[in-house]
């Protein structure tokens, strides 16, 4: 069905269309690629490719354009991830070193990725679920209020104000803090709920109310919003593209964090690149975009995802190379923190 040459034609169509953004015809293909056959032959192959749904004509007497299915085949079988140039790798390093805290690492990463790919970059904050508790701090704020700060081994800090505790004695807070840290310091966050289950029983009744309040806020802060935080950059790059869907729809989709999280989250295989093309995206506004995403993490442990959103007509090998490289470097930086 699809012999070598037909695949070569498809590859050429994708590459040319990505470059020129114009339907590509048989003659142009014969000129620009060394396929060794005449335009007429290419036309015959194109008919076959079109029957199989890999390319399509916008209208009669126009060249061909890849379909989503065509891009899919291209990504799966006809292309390989393009490694970054030395200059690009140096850029990554100089860009990411010197970040002072997690916020800055994430902010720099997302700008970097947007710049490398000239598309919209997305970076998810390291998930709390897979990290572990470094330390819990309790700070009396005066009156009936207390601030709780949870520090994780991925550099992330969650804080909450706890109110309505009645009077808070300094020593009770100290006791509770010590007890808490004894119970959960070093534990993976997933194990925290079990570990604190019987703590209230160990607190003397006078302060049990406070302990219960603190624990409930602690548990809530760990489960509820654990993966919500996402940062974007490079939306200006969208303006250059003309989408089938309106630009507005795309921008709107990008502002809905939950959508983005689901998009990134559906990667099949950790530490692998995932590519979702056009119609494969469940979200209406993103039907004419493709998303390249990858996990990043420390060691084998995947902490979160990064990704790039662009038109289906994107440079897949280059984008995949950039995403993969940035994901690796971020992992290294986080490991060194």
Partner DNA sequence: ATTAGCACTGAGGACCACGGAGTGCCAGGA
Partner DNA sequence: TCCTGGCACTCCGTGGTCCTCAGTGCTAAT
40 binds DNA (CB under 7 A): yes
If one counts every other C-beta atom within 10 angstroms of the C-beta of residue 204, the result is: 9
| Residues forming the site for a copy of itself (CB under 8 A) | 100-101, 134-135, 137, 139, 141, 147, 149, 151, 155, 157, 159-161, 221, 233-240, 246-249, 251-252, 254-255, 337
Among 8, 9, 24, 189, binds DNA (CB under 7 A): 24
By a kind-dependent CB cut-off of 5 to 8 A, residue 147 interacts, out of DNA, a copy of itself, none, with: a copy of itself
Write down the least CB distance from residue 5 to a copy of itself, Å. Answer: 40
141 binds DNA (CB under 7 A): no
DSSP string, 48-93: HHHHTTSEE-SSTTS-BEE-HHHHHHIIIII--PPPPPHHHHHHHH
147 binds DNA (CB under 7 A): no
DSSP string, 263-288: HHHT-SSTTS-EEEEGGGS-SGGGTT
Which of 141, 138, 142, 169 minimizes the C-alpha distance to 151?
Answer: 138
β-bridge mates for residue 310, sequence order: 290
User: Which range binds DNA by CB under 7 A, 37-45, 88-96, 118-126, 238-246?
Assistant: 37-45
281 binds DNA (CB under 7 A): no
Rg (CA), the chain: 26
Write down the least CB distance from residue 185 to a copy of itself, Å. Answer: 10
Among 32, 39, 115, 270, binds DNA (CB under 7 A): 39
59 binds DNA (CB under 7 A): yes
- 39-51 and 4-20 helices cross at what angle (nearest 10)? 90
60 binds DNA (CB under 7 A): yes
56 binds DNA (CB under 7 A): no
Number of residues that bind DNA (CB under 7 A): 26
Among 17, 23, 227, 278, binds DNA (CB under 7 A): 23
Look at residue 310 and give its three-state secondary structure.
strand
Among 11, 15, 63, 321, binds DNA (CB under 7 A): 63
Residue at token pair 């289906």 = 312
The Cα 131–Cα 187 span in angstroms is 8
Burial call 5-17: b when 16+ CB within 10 Å, e when fewer: ebbbbbbbbbbbb
Tell me which residues touch DNA (CB under 7 A). 5, 22-28, 36-41, 43-44, 46-47, 50, 57, 59-64
């Amino acid at each position: 069905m699809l012999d070598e040459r037909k695949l070569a034609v498809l590859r050429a169509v994708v590459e040319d269309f990505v470059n020129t953004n114009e339907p590509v015809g048989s003659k142009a293909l014969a000129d620009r690629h060394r396929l060794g056959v005449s335009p007429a032959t290419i036309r015959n192959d194109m008919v076959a490719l079109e029957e199989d749904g890999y390319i399509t004509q916008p209208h009669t007497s126009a060249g061909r354009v890849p379909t989503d299915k065509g891009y899919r085949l291209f990504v799966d079988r006809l292309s390989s991830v393009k490694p970054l140039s030395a200059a690009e790798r140096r850029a990554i390093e100089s860009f990411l070193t010197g970040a002072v805290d997690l916020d800055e690492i994430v902010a720099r990463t997302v700008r970097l990725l947007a710049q490398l790919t000239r598309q919209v970059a997305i970076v998810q904050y390291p998930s709390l679920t897979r990290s572990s508790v470094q330390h819990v701090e309790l700070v009396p704020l005066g009156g009936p209020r207390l601030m709780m700060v949870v520090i994780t081994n991925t550099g992330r800090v969650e804080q909450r104000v706890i109110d309505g505790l009645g009077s808070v004695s300094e020593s009770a807070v100290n006791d509770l803090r010590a007890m808490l840290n004894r119970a959960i310091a070093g534990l993976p966050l997933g194990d925290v709920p079990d570990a604190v289950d019987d703590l209230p029983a160990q607190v003397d009744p006078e302060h049990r109310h406070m302990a219960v309040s603190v624990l409930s806020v602690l548990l809530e802060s760990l489960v509820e919003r654990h993966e919500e935080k996402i940062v974007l950059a490079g939306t200006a790059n969208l303006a250059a593209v003309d989408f089938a869907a309106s630009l507005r729809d795309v921008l709107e989709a990008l502002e809905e964090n939950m959508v983005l999280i689901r998009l990134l989250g559906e990667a099949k295989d950790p530490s692998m690149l995932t590519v979702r093309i056009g119609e494969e995206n469940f979200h209406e506004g993103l039907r004419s975009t493709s998303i390249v995403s990858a996990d990043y993490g420390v060691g084998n442990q995947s902490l979160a995802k990064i990704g790039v959103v662009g038109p289906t007509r994107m440079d897949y090998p280059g984008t995949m190379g950039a995403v993969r490289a940035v994901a690796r470097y971020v992992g290294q930086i986080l490991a060194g923190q």
